[in-house]
Amino acid sequence: MTMPFVVPRAVGLAPATWAAYGMMTLTVVPLVWRRRAPLAVLLAVLVTSMVYKLAVDGPGQPLPYNGLVIVYTVAVLSSPWKRLVSGVLVLIAVPVGVWLNTRSARELTFSAFVFTAAYVFGRLTDARQRAHRVEAERAAARERARIAREMHDILSHAVSLMIVQAEAGPVAVRTAPERAEAAFDVISETGRDAMVQLRRMLGLLRDSEEGGEDGSVGVGAGYAPELAPRAPQPGVGELPALFERVRGSGLQVRYEVAGSEHVLPEAVGATVFRIVQEALTNTVRHAAARTVTVQLTYGEGELGVGVVDDGRGARAGFGSGGHGLVGVRERAAALGGTAEVGAGPGGRGFEVRVRIPVPAVVATAEAGR
Protein backbone atom coordinates (compact mmCIF):
# COMPACT_ATOMS: atom_id res chain seq x y z
CA MET A 1 0.00 0.00 0.00
CA THR A 2 2.99 2.35 0.45
CA MET A 3 4.78 1.75 -2.83
CA PRO A 4 4.23 5.31 -4.16
CA PHE A 5 5.89 6.60 -0.99
CA VAL A 6 8.90 4.30 -1.28
CA VAL A 7 9.68 4.47 -5.00
CA PRO A 8 10.78 7.95 -6.08
CA ARG A 9 8.10 9.83 -7.96
CA ALA A 10 8.53 11.14 -11.47
CA VAL A 11 10.34 14.40 -11.95
CA GLY A 12 7.96 17.33 -11.75
CA LEU A 13 5.56 15.73 -9.26
CA ALA A 14 5.39 16.87 -5.67
CA PRO A 15 6.95 14.40 -3.21
CA ALA A 16 4.76 12.41 -0.84
CA THR A 17 4.21 14.13 2.49
CA TRP A 18 3.89 12.73 5.98
CA ALA A 19 0.25 13.82 6.01
CA ALA A 20 -0.42 11.81 2.86
CA TYR A 21 1.46 8.85 4.32
CA GLY A 22 -0.62 8.97 7.52
CA MET A 23 -3.94 9.28 5.68
CA MET A 24 -3.04 6.37 3.41
CA THR A 25 -2.35 4.32 6.52
CA LEU A 26 -5.82 5.17 7.84
CA THR A 27 -7.37 3.72 4.70
CA VAL A 28 -5.77 0.37 5.53
CA VAL A 29 -6.07 0.13 9.34
CA PRO A 30 -9.84 -0.65 9.34
CA LEU A 31 -9.10 -3.94 7.56
CA VAL A 32 -7.99 -5.32 10.93
CA TRP A 33 -11.70 -5.58 11.87
CA ARG A 34 -12.96 -6.74 8.47
CA ARG A 35 -14.11 -10.17 9.72
CA ARG A 36 -16.04 -8.76 12.67
CA ALA A 37 -17.87 -5.98 10.83
CA PRO A 38 -17.23 -6.16 7.08
CA LEU A 39 -19.91 -3.63 6.10
CA ALA A 40 -18.71 -1.08 8.64
CA VAL A 41 -15.13 -1.57 7.51
CA LEU A 42 -16.20 -1.08 3.89
CA LEU A 43 -17.76 2.27 4.83
CA ALA A 44 -14.61 3.24 6.74
CA VAL A 45 -12.37 2.38 3.79
CA LEU A 46 -14.55 4.33 1.37
CA VAL A 47 -14.68 7.40 3.62
CA THR A 48 -10.94 7.46 4.43
CA SER A 49 -10.06 6.87 0.77
CA MET A 50 -12.31 9.75 -0.30
CA VAL A 51 -10.82 12.06 2.34
CA TYR A 52 -7.35 11.04 1.22
CA LYS A 53 -8.15 11.91 -2.38
CA LEU A 54 -9.92 15.20 -1.71
CA ALA A 55 -7.98 16.62 1.24
CA VAL A 56 -4.44 15.32 0.82
CA ASP A 57 -4.18 14.56 -2.90
CA GLY A 58 -1.34 12.11 -2.42
CA PRO A 59 0.27 10.02 -5.14
CA GLY A 60 -2.48 7.42 -5.10
CA GLN A 61 -2.20 3.65 -5.64
CA PRO A 62 -1.89 1.63 -8.87
CA LEU A 63 -4.53 -0.78 -7.52
CA PRO A 64 -7.10 -0.27 -4.72
CA TYR A 65 -5.91 -3.21 -2.62
CA ASN A 66 -7.80 -2.24 0.51
CA GLY A 67 -11.07 -1.96 -1.41
CA LEU A 68 -10.57 -5.33 -3.08
CA VAL A 69 -9.82 -7.01 0.25
CA ILE A 70 -12.94 -5.68 1.95
CA VAL A 71 -15.19 -6.45 -1.05
CA TYR A 72 -13.90 -10.03 -1.00
CA THR A 73 -14.53 -10.25 2.76
CA VAL A 74 -18.05 -8.90 2.43
CA ALA A 75 -18.79 -11.48 -0.27
CA VAL A 76 -17.55 -14.29 1.98
CA LEU A 77 -18.99 -13.34 5.36
CA SER A 78 -21.96 -11.03 4.95
CA SER A 79 -25.67 -11.78 4.68
CA PRO A 80 -27.51 -11.14 1.38
CA TRP A 81 -28.88 -7.74 2.41
CA LYS A 82 -25.46 -6.55 3.56
CA ARG A 83 -23.96 -7.71 0.28
CA LEU A 84 -26.68 -5.76 -1.55
CA VAL A 85 -25.91 -2.59 0.42
CA SER A 86 -22.19 -3.10 -0.15
CA GLY A 87 -22.77 -3.56 -3.88
CA VAL A 88 -24.70 -0.30 -4.08
CA LEU A 89 -21.94 1.56 -2.22
CA VAL A 90 -19.25 0.15 -4.51
CA LEU A 91 -21.30 0.96 -7.62
CA ILE A 92 -21.39 4.57 -6.46
CA ALA A 93 -17.83 4.80 -5.13
CA VAL A 94 -16.05 3.34 -8.16
CA PRO A 95 -17.37 5.84 -10.75
CA VAL A 96 -16.82 8.71 -8.31
CA GLY A 97 -13.26 7.61 -7.66
CA VAL A 98 -12.56 7.31 -11.39
CA TRP A 99 -14.02 10.75 -11.99
CA LEU A 100 -11.79 12.23 -9.29
CA ASN A 101 -8.73 10.46 -10.69
CA THR A 102 -8.37 10.07 -14.49
CA ARG A 103 -11.96 10.25 -15.73
CA SER A 104 -11.06 7.62 -18.31
CA ALA A 105 -13.21 4.76 -19.57
CA ARG A 106 -10.17 2.50 -19.33
CA GLU A 107 -9.81 3.03 -15.58
CA LEU A 108 -13.56 2.64 -15.09
CA THR A 109 -13.58 -0.67 -17.00
CA PHE A 110 -10.53 -1.93 -15.13
CA SER A 111 -11.94 -0.97 -11.72
CA ALA A 112 -15.29 -2.61 -12.49
CA PHE A 113 -13.50 -5.79 -13.56
CA VAL A 114 -11.25 -6.15 -10.50
CA PHE A 115 -14.02 -5.36 -7.99
CA THR A 116 -16.37 -7.80 -9.70
CA ALA A 117 -13.63 -10.45 -9.66
CA ALA A 118 -13.04 -9.87 -5.92
CA TYR A 119 -16.75 -10.30 -5.23
CA VAL A 120 -17.02 -13.45 -7.39
CA PHE A 121 -14.00 -15.03 -5.70
CA GLY A 122 -15.55 -14.23 -2.33
CA ARG A 123 -18.83 -15.93 -3.25
CA LEU A 124 -16.94 -18.97 -4.55
CA THR A 125 -15.04 -19.20 -1.27
CA ASP A 126 -18.30 -19.01 0.68
CA ALA A 127 -19.81 -21.78 -1.47
CA ARG A 128 -16.77 -23.97 -0.92
CA GLN A 129 -16.86 -23.41 2.84
CA ARG A 130 -20.56 -24.26 2.93
CA ALA A 131 -19.90 -27.46 1.01
CA HIS A 132 -17.18 -28.40 3.49
CA ARG A 133 -19.52 -27.76 6.42
CA VAL A 134 -22.24 -29.90 4.85
CA GLU A 135 -19.78 -32.71 4.25
CA ALA A 136 -18.50 -32.41 7.83
CA GLU A 137 -22.07 -32.65 9.14
CA ARG A 138 -22.72 -35.70 6.99
CA ALA A 139 -19.52 -37.31 8.22
CA ALA A 140 -20.58 -36.59 11.81
CA ALA A 141 -23.98 -38.16 11.15
CA ARG A 142 -22.34 -41.26 9.67
CA GLU A 143 -20.06 -41.48 12.68
CA ARG A 144 -22.99 -41.16 15.08
CA ALA A 145 -24.79 -43.96 13.22
CA ARG A 146 -21.68 -46.13 13.39
CA ILE A 147 -21.30 -45.53 17.11
CA ALA A 148 -24.98 -46.29 17.66
CA ARG A 149 -24.57 -49.62 15.86
CA GLU A 150 -21.49 -50.47 17.92
CA MET A 151 -23.22 -49.59 21.17
CA HIS A 152 -26.31 -51.58 20.19
CA ASP A 153 -24.29 -54.66 19.25
CA ILE A 154 -22.18 -54.59 22.40
CA LEU A 155 -25.03 -54.00 24.83
CA SER A 156 -27.63 -56.15 23.08
CA HIS A 157 -25.30 -59.15 22.92
CA ALA A 158 -24.08 -58.85 26.49
CA VAL A 159 -27.49 -58.18 28.04
CA SER A 160 -29.13 -61.00 26.09
CA LEU A 161 -26.59 -63.55 27.30
CA MET A 162 -26.81 -62.31 30.88
CA ILE A 163 -30.62 -62.47 30.84
CA VAL A 164 -30.59 -66.05 29.54
CA GLN A 165 -28.08 -67.11 32.19
CA ALA A 166 -29.88 -65.23 34.96
CA GLU A 167 -33.22 -66.83 34.07
CA ALA A 168 -31.67 -70.29 34.09
CA GLY A 169 -29.73 -69.66 37.30
CA PRO A 170 -32.49 -70.25 39.88
CA VAL A 171 -33.44 -73.59 38.30
CA ALA A 172 -29.83 -74.67 38.07
CA VAL A 173 -29.18 -73.77 41.72
CA ARG A 174 -31.80 -76.32 42.80
CA THR A 175 -31.04 -79.09 40.30
CA ALA A 176 -27.39 -78.70 39.24
CA PRO A 177 -25.34 -76.30 41.39
CA GLU A 178 -22.29 -76.73 39.16
CA ARG A 179 -24.28 -75.41 36.20
CA ALA A 180 -25.43 -72.46 38.28
CA GLU A 181 -21.83 -71.63 39.09
CA ALA A 182 -20.94 -71.82 35.40
CA ALA A 183 -23.88 -69.55 34.58
CA PHE A 184 -22.68 -66.94 37.04
CA ASP A 185 -19.20 -67.17 35.54
CA VAL A 186 -20.64 -66.53 32.08
CA ILE A 187 -22.61 -63.55 33.37
CA SER A 188 -19.51 -62.10 34.99
CA GLU A 189 -17.30 -62.70 31.94
CA THR A 190 -19.88 -61.29 29.56
CA GLY A 191 -20.33 -58.17 31.68
CA ARG A 192 -16.60 -57.58 31.96
CA ASP A 193 -16.14 -58.01 28.21
CA ALA A 194 -18.95 -55.54 27.49
CA MET A 195 -17.44 -53.03 29.91
CA VAL A 196 -14.03 -53.32 28.27
CA GLN A 197 -15.49 -52.71 24.81
CA LEU A 198 -17.62 -49.80 25.99
CA ARG A 199 -14.72 -48.19 27.83
CA ARG A 200 -12.52 -48.59 24.76
CA MET A 201 -15.14 -46.93 22.58
CA LEU A 202 -15.76 -44.10 25.03
CA GLY A 203 -12.03 -43.65 25.47
CA LEU A 204 -11.54 -43.26 21.74
CA LEU A 205 -14.39 -40.76 21.59
CA ARG A 206 -12.84 -38.77 24.42
CA ASP A 207 -9.48 -39.01 22.69
CA SER A 208 -10.89 -37.49 19.51
CA GLU A 209 -12.50 -34.62 21.46
CA GLU A 210 -9.91 -33.85 24.14
CA GLY A 211 -6.73 -35.68 23.16
CA GLY A 212 -3.50 -33.80 22.71
CA GLU A 213 -1.05 -33.91 19.87
CA ASP A 214 0.65 -36.93 21.39
CA GLY A 215 -2.53 -38.99 20.92
CA SER A 216 -3.09 -39.43 24.65
CA VAL A 217 -6.60 -39.86 25.95
CA GLY A 218 -8.10 -36.75 27.51
CA VAL A 219 -8.62 -36.94 31.25
CA GLY A 220 -11.79 -35.61 32.83
CA ALA A 221 -13.35 -35.80 36.24
CA GLY A 222 -13.55 -39.37 37.40
CA TYR A 223 -11.89 -40.70 34.28
CA ALA A 224 -8.84 -42.93 34.21
CA PRO A 225 -7.02 -43.53 30.91
CA GLU A 226 -6.22 -47.10 31.82
CA LEU A 227 -9.95 -47.90 31.76
CA ALA A 228 -9.97 -47.37 27.98
CA PRO A 229 -7.26 -49.65 26.57
CA ARG A 230 -6.23 -48.75 23.06
CA ALA A 231 -6.92 -52.04 21.28
CA PRO A 232 -8.10 -52.80 17.75
CA GLN A 233 -11.71 -53.66 16.98
CA PRO A 234 -12.53 -57.37 17.42
CA GLY A 235 -12.15 -59.36 14.24
CA VAL A 236 -12.42 -62.88 12.90
CA GLY A 237 -9.77 -64.03 15.35
CA GLU A 238 -12.05 -63.20 18.27
CA LEU A 239 -14.96 -65.32 16.97
CA PRO A 240 -14.00 -68.47 18.94
CA ALA A 241 -14.14 -66.52 22.22
CA LEU A 242 -17.52 -65.15 21.18
CA PHE A 243 -18.77 -68.67 20.48
CA GLU A 244 -17.62 -69.84 23.90
CA ARG A 245 -19.62 -67.12 25.61
CA VAL A 246 -22.71 -68.02 23.58
CA ARG A 247 -22.29 -71.71 24.35
CA GLY A 248 -22.53 -70.76 28.01
CA SER A 249 -26.19 -69.89 27.38
CA GLY A 250 -26.86 -73.51 26.35
CA LEU A 251 -26.87 -72.85 22.59
CA GLN A 252 -24.62 -75.19 20.61
CA VAL A 253 -22.46 -73.23 18.14
CA ARG A 254 -20.82 -74.89 15.14
CA TYR A 255 -18.09 -73.02 13.32
CA GLU A 256 -17.14 -73.90 9.74
CA VAL A 257 -14.63 -72.33 7.38
CA ALA A 258 -14.69 -72.99 3.63
CA GLY A 259 -12.28 -71.87 0.96
CA SER A 260 -8.72 -70.63 1.26
CA GLU A 261 -8.56 -68.78 4.56
CA HIS A 262 -6.52 -65.60 4.59
CA VAL A 263 -6.02 -62.48 6.68
CA LEU A 264 -8.79 -59.95 6.18
CA PRO A 265 -8.52 -56.16 6.21
CA GLU A 266 -9.30 -54.77 9.67
CA ALA A 267 -12.55 -53.12 8.55
CA VAL A 268 -13.82 -56.37 7.02
CA GLY A 269 -12.82 -58.43 10.06
CA ALA A 270 -14.56 -56.04 12.46
CA THR A 271 -17.70 -56.04 10.31
CA VAL A 272 -17.79 -59.84 10.17
CA PHE A 273 -17.43 -60.06 13.94
CA ARG A 274 -20.27 -57.60 14.57
CA ILE A 275 -22.56 -59.29 12.03
CA VAL A 276 -22.01 -62.72 13.56
CA GLN A 277 -22.43 -61.26 17.05
CA GLU A 278 -25.77 -59.69 16.15
CA ALA A 279 -27.01 -62.84 14.42
CA LEU A 280 -26.13 -64.94 17.47
CA THR A 281 -27.76 -62.39 19.77
CA ASN A 282 -31.00 -62.67 17.80
CA THR A 283 -30.78 -66.45 17.95
CA VAL A 284 -30.37 -66.41 21.72
CA ARG A 285 -33.18 -63.90 22.23
CA HIS A 286 -35.80 -65.03 19.73
CA ALA A 287 -35.15 -68.37 18.08
CA ALA A 288 -35.56 -70.93 20.88
CA ALA A 289 -32.92 -72.87 18.94
CA ARG A 290 -30.70 -75.68 20.11
CA THR A 291 -27.98 -75.37 17.44
CA VAL A 292 -26.63 -72.57 15.29
CA THR A 293 -24.06 -72.90 12.52
CA VAL A 294 -21.70 -70.09 11.60
CA GLN A 295 -19.89 -70.47 8.29
CA LEU A 296 -17.26 -68.24 6.68
CA THR A 297 -16.69 -68.86 2.98
CA TYR A 298 -13.53 -67.36 1.51
CA GLY A 299 -14.11 -66.83 -2.19
CA GLU A 300 -12.30 -65.02 -4.98
CA GLY A 301 -12.62 -61.36 -4.10
CA GLU A 302 -15.40 -61.80 -1.55
CA LEU A 303 -16.24 -63.30 1.81
CA GLY A 304 -19.49 -65.07 2.58
CA VAL A 305 -20.92 -65.13 6.09
CA GLY A 306 -23.76 -67.48 7.00
CA VAL A 307 -25.52 -67.91 10.32
CA VAL A 308 -28.26 -70.58 10.37
CA ASP A 309 -30.16 -71.89 13.40
CA ASP A 310 -32.70 -74.69 13.92
CA GLY A 311 -35.15 -72.59 15.91
CA ARG A 312 -38.73 -71.59 15.29
CA GLY A 313 -37.82 -69.01 12.66
CA ALA A 314 -40.65 -66.60 13.58
CA ARG A 315 -38.56 -63.54 14.29
CA ALA A 316 -38.74 -59.90 13.36
CA GLY A 317 -37.15 -58.99 10.07
CA PHE A 318 -35.43 -55.81 8.98
CA GLY A 319 -36.85 -52.70 10.58
CA SER A 320 -39.17 -54.36 13.11
CA GLY A 321 -38.68 -55.54 16.64
CA GLY A 322 -35.38 -53.67 16.93
CA HIS A 323 -32.47 -52.37 14.97
CA GLY A 324 -30.15 -55.37 15.05
CA LEU A 325 -30.88 -56.85 11.63
CA VAL A 326 -31.07 -53.38 10.14
CA GLY A 327 -27.56 -52.88 11.48
CA VAL A 328 -26.46 -56.11 9.78
CA ARG A 329 -27.63 -54.80 6.43
CA GLU A 330 -26.07 -51.37 7.04
CA ARG A 331 -22.74 -52.88 8.01
CA ALA A 332 -22.65 -55.02 4.89
CA ALA A 333 -23.71 -52.11 2.66
CA ALA A 334 -21.00 -49.87 4.15
CA LEU A 335 -18.41 -52.21 2.62
CA GLY A 336 -20.29 -52.64 -0.65
CA GLY A 337 -21.81 -55.98 0.34
CA THR A 338 -25.29 -57.42 0.63
CA ALA A 339 -27.28 -59.08 3.41
CA GLU A 340 -30.29 -61.38 3.22
CA VAL A 341 -32.39 -62.83 6.03
CA GLY A 342 -35.20 -65.31 6.07
CA ALA A 343 -36.16 -68.91 6.65
CA GLY A 344 -33.39 -71.47 6.77
CA PRO A 345 -32.95 -74.48 4.46
CA GLY A 346 -36.22 -76.36 4.00
CA GLY A 347 -38.12 -73.56 5.67
CA ARG A 348 -36.78 -74.45 9.10
CA GLY A 349 -35.02 -72.10 11.43
CA PHE A 350 -33.69 -68.69 10.51
CA GLU A 351 -30.79 -67.72 8.26
CA VAL A 352 -28.60 -64.65 7.81
CA ARG A 353 -26.52 -64.56 4.61
CA VAL A 354 -23.99 -61.82 3.96
CA ARG A 355 -21.56 -61.26 1.12
CA ILE A 356 -18.76 -58.74 1.48
CA PRO A 357 -16.26 -57.80 -1.24
CA VAL A 358 -12.69 -58.25 -0.08
CA PRO A 359 -9.71 -56.42 -1.62
CA ALA A 360 -6.58 -58.24 -2.68
CA VAL A 361 -5.32 -60.74 -0.12
CA VAL A 362 -3.33 -58.96 2.58
CA ALA A 363 -1.41 -61.98 3.74
CA THR A 364 -1.62 -65.74 3.85
CA ALA A 365 -3.21 -67.11 6.99
CA GLU A 366 -0.91 -68.81 9.42
CA ALA A 367 -1.04 -72.55 9.42
CA GLY A 368 -3.53 -73.99 11.83
CA ARG A 369 -5.39 -70.73 12.28
pLDDT at 239: 92
- For residue 262, pLDDT over 80 is answered with yes
Which has the higher per-residue pLDDT, 117 or 188?
117
According to DSSP H, which parts of the chain are helical?
3-6, 18-28, 38-51, 65-77, 80-101, 105-175, 177-210, 239-247, 266-282, 324-334
Report d(CA 43, CA 27) in Å as an integer. 10
pTM value > 0.85:
no
Q: How confident is the model at residue 320 (pLDDT cuts 50, 70, 90)?
A: very low
Q: How confident is the model at residue 329 (pLDDT cuts 50, 70, 90)?
A: confident
- For residue 203, pLDDT over 80 is answered with no
pLDDT at 62: 57
Report d(CA 25, CA 32) in Å as an integer. 12
CB 187 within 8 A of CB 165: yes
Query: Pick from 78, 69, 75: which is nearest to 28 by CA?
Result: 69
CB 365 within 8 A of CB 269: no
CB 241 within 8 A of CB 210: no
pLDDT at 149: 75
Pairing mode, strands 291-298 and 302-309: antiparallel
- Express each pLDDT in 2-27 by its tens digit: 555 566 666 666 666 777 777 778 88
pLDDT at 121: 95
Q: To which H or E segment does residue 338 belong? A: strand 338-343
CB 338 within 8 A of CB 345: no
Distance of CA 299 to the CA centre of its chain: 32
- For residue 159, pLDDT over 90 is answered with no
Query: Domains in the chain, ordered, with CATH?
Result: 3-103 (no CATH), 237-369 (3.30.565.10)
Report d(CA 179, CA 187) in Å as an integer. 12
- Express each pLDDT in 96-129 by its tens digit: 888 877 788 888 898 899 999 999 999 999 999 9
